[in-house]
Amino acid sequence: MAQSILSGVLSFVAEGVIVCTSDGTITLVNPHASLLLDYTSDELTGKHVDDMLALTFDSSPLKPKERITYVLFTAEKVFTVPRDKVAYLTSRSGRKFPVFISARSFPVEGNMVGVLVFRDITNEKELEKYKNNTARRLSELTPFLQRAATGDFSIIPEIPYQEDEFTELLVGLRLMTEDLHEAKRITEEYSGRLEKQVEEKTQEIVQARIHTETIIENLTDGLLEYDDEFTLLRINRAAETLLGVDREEVVGKEILPKDTDKKHWQSIINVLHPALSSTARKVKYPMTRFNAEVSEITVQYPLERELQIITVPITERTTGKQQGFIKIVRDITREKSISRSKSEFISIAAHQLRTPLSAIKWTLHMVLNDNDGPLNAAQRELLHNGYETNEKMIQLVNDLLNVARIEEGRFGYDFKKGDIMSVIQNVIEFVKVPARERGIEIEMTSSKEGLPLFIFDTDKVTLALENLVDNAVKYTLAGGKVSLDASTRDEYLEIKVQDTGIGIPQKQINMLFTKFFRADNALHMQTSGSGLGLYLAKNIAMRHGGSLRVESKEGAGSVFFFRLPLQAERIPKGDISLDEM
């Protein structure tokens, strides 16, 4: 009963089980054992266990003391496979397969029996082999991977002749290595080229720098560069001479107004901080590209000199942040003295001329008024022409005197609240007669709501407008028209003087407001004229904080826009002249 339960249970076990008696006779075989050994249970039962199991350790047959029955019943030990060996069984059909095998002896009802358990481990062995192989292949790849990780792609993994599951990986790695190797070569070549280019460019920059340095050093104008804390970064030779300092002493130092104890730093301090110098004058200068500020100062050290200082802020190109300044210092002592002598000369000459011209004017006036007896028509015409010419001479002398005054800063202004409309009316009165004589119509318009009272110099504005309206009449042919309009525009009062006259040649328009300039077409039409009227008018507008602008087309007419600010705060404080605009 017990035997049949046992064999029933054993038939389910997925391992071969054989039971034998102490003399080695097989008494029980389960189906899995017969399957593995390729014998039926009956064929095995009653046979000697050591004979029926064709067992080897590795490929050697078992020695007598290794046999199952010896180990179990003589040595009375557990039968196992030595650690370093693999046991193989060969079936009746000759299939040799690795096995896990173990046997033990038990006493059953006073007799010792042996129980043998074995299992086909072909798959396990395959798996183990595969594992070992994989480990070996990976370990072979380690040096390659380690090198690749450091960017060294010089070793390319070999593809084994025989394909296995690693082949694809190796092919992939090989392709990748080759690609990386090539990429590295290209990168190295490129960086080599880049390095060369950088070197060449650096060389160019160094050359350009040397070039610039040489130019700066040899400029006749002084040049100073300093940061926004007034630390002097550079000074050229001309600046050293002009300001009486030595670069060794000043470069790298902060030049501050408080350093007044250093007597010989007086001029460099004045130049770096012109606003603090009592002699400083701000001037306007036609510098459009840079945000430059121009001023003039008089320095005493090492010689008394008049200096023009152009200050250019240096800003960081990308952020627009201010980094420091460059100052260009020009010695204008001689220029100033020549210009002074010139205006002094003009002023003296004009004064000298004014008295006799006035005398002539009154003499001619009296003669023309028949004070000394009647004149015949021819005499009258001659004297009248003389009178007219004398008037023009007086006008010229007055213009010259005014220009000289402007240049000497003596064109004294008297700013008062006034009524611009009455000024305009007076000016129209002034040109009415000559306009009528020449058959020119004069028209005046203004804003309906009236014009506000504001602060200006009546005499100067009258002079400016007289020049503009006089020109409009003078440069317009008979039958033409001169229109004046006064209106407020953007916090300014704008007086527009428009004519249908000869206009101004396009290419000469930007010369118009310079001293003594007369356009070609005007020279042909009007022989008399000083070329000073527009210069004076523009000066007067600018001195008020206003402007004078022209739009014109030759042959079609011109429009002059004379603007004055309505708010007194816009009137500049100091004296300025057109030469500096």
Give the residues lining the site for ligand ADP (CB under 6 A).
467, 471-472, 475, 499, 501-504, 512, 517-519, 522, 529-535, 558
CB of 425 to ligand ADP, least distance (A): 20
Residue with smaller CB distance to ligand ADP, 418 or 531: 531
CB of 396 to ligand ADP, least distance (A): 8
Q: Write b or e for each residue in 394-425: b if 16 or more Cβ atoms lie within 10 A of its Cβ, otherwise e.
A: bbbbbbbbbbbbbbbeebeeeeeeeebeebbe
CB of 535 to ligand ADP, least distance (A): 6
Q: Which of 28, 25, 8 is nearest to 17 (CA)?
A: 28
Residue with smaller CB distance to ligand ADP, 335 or 459: 459
In this structure, are residues 404 and 350 in contact, taking their beta carbons and an 8 Å threshold?
Answer: yes
Residue with smaller CB distance to ligand ADP, 472 or 541: 472
> Any residues with CB less than 8 A from the CB of 471 and at least 6 apart, and which?
533, 534, 560
Are β-strands 16-21 and 111-120 bridged in parallel, bridged antiparallel, or unpaired? antiparallel
In this structure, are residues 290 and 315 in contact, taking their beta carbons and an 8 Å threshold?
Answer: no
In this structure, are residues 330 and 225 in contact, taking their beta carbons and an 8 Å threshold?
Answer: no
What is the separation, in whole angstroms, between the first and last Cα of the chain? 133
- Residue 531, CA atoms < 13 Å, CB-side half-sphere: 12
Cα–Cα dist 426/404, whole Å: 26
CB of 440 to ligand ADP, least distance (A): 12
CB of 529 to ligand ADP, least distance (A): 3
* 178 token code pair: 């080759």
Cα–Cα dist 104/79, whole Å: 6
Coil, strand, or helix at residue 391? Answer: helix
Residue with smaller CB distance to ligand ADP, 239 or 504: 504
CB of 536 to ligand ADP, least distance (A): 8
Cα–Cα dist 540/560, whole Å: 14
Residue with smaller CB distance to ligand ADP, 222 or 503: 503
Residue with smaller CB distance to ligand ADP, 256 or 428: 428
CB of 478 to ligand ADP, least distance (A): 15
CB of 563 to ligand ADP, least distance (A): 17
Which residue is nearest to ligand ADP, using beta carbons? Answer: 533
Residue with smaller CB distance to ligand ADP, 148 or 400: 400
Coil, strand, or helix at residue 66? Answer: helix
Q: Which single residue is written with the structure tokens 């266990």?
A: 49
Residue with smaller CB distance to ligand ADP, 288 or 510: 510
Coil, strand, or helix at residue 246? Answer: coil
Q: Which single residue is written with the structure tokens 């700066």?
A: 216
Q: Could you give the residue ranges of the DSSP H alpha helices within 18-163? A: 31-37, 41-44, 49-52, 68-69, 122-149
Residue with smaller CB distance to ligand ADP, 157 or 501: 501
CB of 230 to ligand ADP, least distance (A): 45
333-368 vs 377-407: helix crossing angle, rounded to 10: 160
CB of 481 to ligand ADP, least distance (A): 12
Q: Write b or e for each residue in 324-345: b if 16 or more Cβ atoms lie within 10 A of its Cβ, otherwise e.
A: bbbbbbbbbbeebeeeeeebee
CB of 407 to ligand ADP, least distance (A): 16
> Any residues with CB less than 8 A from the CB of 308 and at least 6 apart, and which?
283, 294, 295, 296, 329, 330, 332
Coil, strand, or helix at residue 547? Answer: strand
Phi, psi at 572, each rounded to 5°: -60, 150
CB of 502 to ligand ADP, least distance (A): 5
Cα–Cα dist 410/402, whole Å: 9
CB of 339 to ligand ADP, least distance (A): 20
Handedness of CA 198, 200, 202, 205 (dihedral sign): negative
Residue with smaller CB distance to ligand ADP, 16 or 503: 503
Residue with smaller CB distance to ligand ADP, 86 or 428: 428
Coil, strand, or helix at residue 354? Answer: helix
Residue with smaller CB distance to ligand ADP, 475 or 561: 475
In this structure, are residues 478 and 439 in contact, taking their beta carbons and an 8 Å threshold?
Answer: yes
Residue 345 DSSP symbol: H
CB of 252 to ligand ADP, least distance (A): 52
In this structure, are residues 472 and 498 in contact, taking their beta carbons and an 8 Å threshold?
Answer: yes
Cα–Cα dist 103/100, whole Å: 11
Residue with smaller CB distance to ligand ADP, 236 or 577: 577
Residue with smaller CB distance to ligand ADP, 327 or 460: 460
